[in-house]
Amino acid sequence: MAASFATLLVSSAVLHAEEKDSTRGFSKREKKGLLETSIILHSRGKLALVPKGSIIVLPKDLESKIATNTTKGKLVSWKKFLSANGSWIHMFPVSFDQAIGKATITLEQQKSLRQLNKLVIARRGTNLVSVSPKAMETEETEKKSSL
> For 53-73, how does the pLDDT look when each residue is reduced to its tens digit (9 = 90+)?
999 999 999 999 999 888 899
How high is the pLDDT of residue 146?
A: 43
DSSP H helical ranges for the chain:
2-15, 78-85, 96-100, 107-115, 139-146
Q: What is the DSSP letter of 66?
A: B
Identify the band that residue 138 occupies on the pLDDT scale cut at 50, 70 and 90. Answer: confident
101 touches 132 (CB < 8 A): yes
How high is the pLDDT of residue 124?
A: 96
> What is the mean predicted confidence (pLDDT) over 46-58?
96
